[in-house]
Structure 1
Amino acid sequence: MTHSYFATVAKGLEEIAATELETFGAQDIQTVFTGVHFTGDQELLYRVNLWSRIIFRVLVPIAEIQCQNSDQLSKNIQNIDWRDYLTPEQTLAVHCTGTNYNLNHTHYTALGIKNAIIDQQREQTGQRSSVDINEPDLQINAHIENDRCLLSLDSSGGSLHRRGYHRAMGVAPLKETLAAALLDLAQWTPDLPFLDPCCGSGTLPIEATLKSLDIAPGLYRSKFGFQKWHDFNPELWKKLLNEANQRQKFSLDAPIFGSDADRTVLEEARSNAAFCQIEEYIQFSRKQIADLEAPSDRGVILCNPPYGKRLGNNQELALLYKQLGDVFKQRFKGWTAYILTGNKELGKQVGLRTSRRIAVYNGSLPCTLLKYELY
């Protein structure tokens, strides 16, 4: 049976997510702001949660109701038979986005939806579900737009960017989903050597290794929201897990390097890689930018150096960016380099001509991915 789904993504990554969904077999793909609509069967829903490297959550719409005010919202919530989705023994949580004139506080709107659901349960059974905001059995997403409320179930049960390996984090780590998207934007493929000379806690090299070894990022998660649903198919899920385990490779097509001048964050990077059981595949080393040497005659450099918003000061960072440009130019002929920065002035200090400038958001911060062809 075909269902409609909605994938939430970071701002600016909608098209990359749509391309990824297409590779999974999704149909009727349509991008909107910070999201992608698509259709597919239950197997596709499970597969996207298990394999997506870009998406935050996969929502399953169940109803669209009128909500001009709180009374109408509550009445229409109770017109839905929640026994189809929830038993009083199960916990729930409601997350709300969007507002209208009368429903202008998302927290209170979510509270009203929760109350309407448990009031129905009390009338039907004399019992009610408890609220668990951290690990609910059923996560309900309500999106208000004008006088309509779209109700969806969160099949992911927590953002998919949380792979689980960030037990040890640097001061300003990239989200795993953004790191995976940057690899796509940099057009890196596993047959090319990869280097991150400012690797911090290792997110970019780890994501590159997971991609190169064809490891499903969802294998590191202990649970998904859909596993508590009434229609959960354990045999189908077991089949997909077995398929993912069988696909995993045990050798790289090209080497992956991560270096940093900070001994502490390198230990964090090694710890994160060890959690994924891929530490043997990444060549981590403590190295100053001035000591970098090209490990091969071609490859891709991708790095996220500090850009003054959370780390360092601009004078020191200007020297770092200049040094990156000098070392790239002198020692990495034949490579392609990418620098993600949220500071235009620092980007100018690289001193190399960009062949492309790609707008990217790191959270809410507008950034630019600078591309350099090194001849």
Structure 2
Amino acid sequence: MENFKMIAKTFFGFEEILAKELQILGAQNVEQGVRMVSFVGDKGFMYKANLALRTALKILKPIYHFRATNEQSLYKGISGIDWSQHLNANRTFVIDTTVHSDYFKHSQFVSQKCKDAIVDQFRSKTGARPSVDKDYPDLRINIHIDRDQVSVALDTSGNSLHQRGYRIATNIAPINEVLAAGMLLLSGWDGQGHFLDPMCGSGTILAEAAMIACNIPANLNRREFAFEKWNDWDNDLFDQIVDSLLKKVREFHYTIQGYDKAPSAVLKAKDNIKNANLDEYVSIAEKNFFDTEKAIQGPLHMVFNPPYGERLDIEMERFYKNIGDTLKQNYPNTNAWFITANIEALKYVGLRPSRKIKLFNGSLEARLVKYEMYEGSKKGKYIQAD
């Protein structure tokens, strides 16, 4: 099988960990960009990347690149691709367009022009034409225009890869699965210890933590990928890739626990964990974190996504102070990480973070912060904020 270039899209701040994931998986020529990492592999690796990458949102396969400064040159460039290699006249397609250009202002206009070029090519060659299906297309085409440079790629994934397939029930503003996995990897979570999410919501961080710990492919529960509808879809090869990944699943000898004070959240989290076939690794209890203390001996790794103003009506100052007080009084020998878009509220925690990483939670700028709680007296030797 021949090798080709691919592009994995990701969130801001995850480029380095995605590149590392790709290298571990066996990708060639791995190069980081902004919110993306390019790499080289064959068709089997394309299947593997979609199945196994935790911090990728999409895998694109570039097929053509040209220059265009107006609608005529855009139409001509798209017409220069032999679309019969990727599509049949009786099938469906959709075009996703991103535009950063003075020559082209509207992505919808670009999509329409590119659609016309594809349809006209089929009509002139066969007398028939493929139709557009925005919801369930057989082929998803990605057009990216940067100034006068037009990149055409096939979307190998389909729906965003954060849609893992295990999450059936959610709470208010659940955390994106790729964001959860990236936070865990940035925190250094590798499954070699005990884990707690003390505000677990619908259980996304717990599910991603368990899959990392056991080396379970991130998208094993996903129903479908876009490449399954392609002309060159190889079911046998895909099954071989799944089998090879499952052989690398490892045993886990520690605990993964989740708390939430809302009974409805606990029920949803349990459903999602069960749906992901992870219930043998994860236990969830109805508890208010502020009334708990560390339940295990030895080091504890904690990652969570506390609520903030956009999501819940809570008194920020008191809430963040309670986080700090609970950590320093009740959780010695713990590395605690959490993400917040309420950057101002961090000062109320009363502890100085040992790390601060800039991320985005949706469109909101956020910080992933780390607090190191040391062993010692019950109050612990913690780092006091200035």
Coarse TM-score class (shorter-chain normalised): over 0.9
Which position in structure 1 is the counterpart of 2:360? 361
Answer whether contact 2:166 2:222 (CA < 8 A) is retained. no
What is the rounded CA distance, in whole Å, between the counterparts of 1:128 and 1:163 in structure 2? 33
- More divergent stretch after superposition (172-181 vs 211-220): 211-220
d(CA) in 1 for partners of 2:357, 2:80: 47
**Partner in structure 1 of residue 256 of structure 2:** 256
Task: Please say if residues 212 and 253 of structure 1, whose CA atoms lie closer than 8 Å, have aligned partners that are also in contact.
Answer: no
Q: What is the CA deviation profile of residues 276-295 of structure 1, one whole-angstrom value per residue up to 9, with x for unaligned ones? A: 12123211001112321212
Q: How far off its partner does 1:253 sit?
A: 2.0
After superposition, give the CA deviation of every residue in 1:29-60 in whole Å (9 maximum; x if it has no partner). 11111111111222211110010110001111
* Match runs of 1:1-375 below 5 Å: 1-249=2-250, 251-296=251-296, 297-313=298-314, 316-375=315-374
> What are the ranges of 5 or more consecutive residues in structure 1 without an aligned counterpart?
none
Deviations 1:321-348 (A, max 9, x none): 1111111111211111112111122111
**In the TM superposition, what is the alpha-carbon distance from 1:12 to its structure 2 partner?**
1.5
Question: What is the CA deviation profile of residues 273-313 of structure 1, one whole-angstrom value per residue up to 9, with x for unaligned ones?
Answer: 12112123211001112321212131111111012122224
CA RMSD of the aligned region, Å?
1.4
The residue type paired with residue 295 of structure 2 is: P
Q: Tell me which residue corresponds to 2:378.
A: none
Give the TM-score normalised by structure 2. 0.93
Could you tell me which runs of 5 or more consecutive residues in structure 2 were left unpaired when the two chains were aligned.
375-386
Q: Give the percent of matched residue pairs that are identical in Structure 1 and Structure 2.
A: 37
CA contact (8 A) 2:103 2:148 kept: no
Provide the secondary structure at the position in 1 that maps to 2:64. strand
1:30 alignment partner AA:
E
**Is the 1:161–1:177 Cα contact (8 Å) retained in structure 2?**
yes
**Secondary structure of the corresponding residue to residue 205 of structure 2:** helix
Would you say the 8 A contact 2:321–2:350 is kept in 1?
A: yes
User: Aligned partners of 2:286 and 2:317: how far apart in 1?
Assistant: 21
Opposite residue 352 of structure 2, the aligned amino acid is R
| Partner Cα distance (1:106, 1:238) in 2 | 37
Distance in 2 (CA, whole Å) between partners of 1:100 and 1:331 is 54
**Shift, 1:317, TM fit:** 2.7
For 2:288, the aligned partner's letter is: Q
Q: Tell me the TM-score normalised to structure 1 length.
A: 0.96
In 2, are the aligned partners of 1:95 and 1:140 still within 8 Å (CA)? yes
Q: Is the 8 A contact 1:60 1:155 kept in 2?
A: yes
C-alpha distance in 2, partners of 1:24/1:363?
27
How far residue 244 of structure 1 moved from its aligned partner, in angstroms, is: 2.9
Partner amino acid, structure 2, of 1:151 = V
CA contact 1:190–1:211 (8 Å) conserved in 2: yes
